[in-house]
Amino acid sequence: MDQKITRTIKALRRREIVGWAAGNAEEARDIVLRIVPPDAVVGTGDSTSVRQIGAVAALEARGNRLINGFAIPSNVTDVRSLFENSFWPMLEATLCDVFLTGSNSLTEDGRLVNVDGAGNRVAGMFWGHPTTVLIVGRNKIVKDLDEALDRVKNVIAPEHLRRKGAPTPCTKSGHCHDCLGPTKVCAVTTIIERKPPHTDFHVVIVDGDLGLGWDRTWPKERIESIVARHEEFMALCPLPACLLEPGTNEELWKMARTKKLQWP
């Protein structure tokens, strides 16, 4: 096992976060099955790492109900279908028994750093359910907060958005422009410093590369392997044109209230 993983797990423990070491994807999947109760409803945030270890398929095969707001059919073109296939599942996913996702980066002293667009993935990490499980590949471990934010803003976000076809300036230059337009997807940045008071927190660190993320000094072959594996498992999540149309947000929340979710 990589000594960096061992050190990071010890750092997580000091923050009252349960760290797990997995030698490979199969071990990580078995750990997830141990953490998640057989009858739990599991919400997911978009994560290539989760798909790469086969956790979703394994949980569904065991009989767990999985909620995924990122399996958006290509024929979603109106607000009603957007609500049923994405918006409502994203709400449900953050109010369930277990929330399962990945992390953009993890510092060696145990802090989890993430950037999100809508905010549902990061919100689900620390609120709305008794248990959170994050899957983190060894390539996501960074030295400190400065390196974590640089990695997210200038490696992960530009590369991820370019593959999604987003019209943001970073997809052309390869680095953050701190843009503020309607297509900006780095809208919410979170740093989890310790276990939230109402949520048991588990981080499964895999001794292998998962998701999208690398240091620019790494060998070209390793980076290309990370990219290829990411593209194999990434969710395309095509964004329908109606998402940015005036009035869409109000209509989505009106539909949510009709479903009688208990809002304040």
- The CA distance from 91 to 50, in Å, is 19
Hey, what long-range contacts does 78-85 have (CB within 8 A, 24 or more apart)? 78/240, 78/242, 79/242, 79/248, 79/251, 79/252, 79/255, 80/255, 81/240, 82/240, 82/242, 82/243, 82/248, 82/252, 83/251, 83/252, 83/255, 83/256
Q: Is the pLDDT of residue 255 over 70?
A: yes
Quick check: 109 pLDDT over 80? yes
Query: CA 25 → CA 3, 64, 108, 199, distances in Å?
Result: 18, 20, 21, 25
Higher-scoring residue by pLDDT: 81, 197: 197
pLDDT in tens, 33-60: 999 999 999 999 989 999 999 999 999 9
Is residue 121 over pLDDT 50? yes
What are the sequence ranges of the domains in the chain? Answer: 3-242
Asked if 20 contacts 75 with a C-beta cutoff of 8 angstroms, the reply is no
Residue 263, pLDDT > 60, answer no
Closest by CA position to 205, among listed 51, 102, 64: 102
Q: Report pLDDT digits (tens) over 186-240.
A: 889 999 999 999 999 999 999 999 999 999 999 999 999 999 999 888 875 556 6
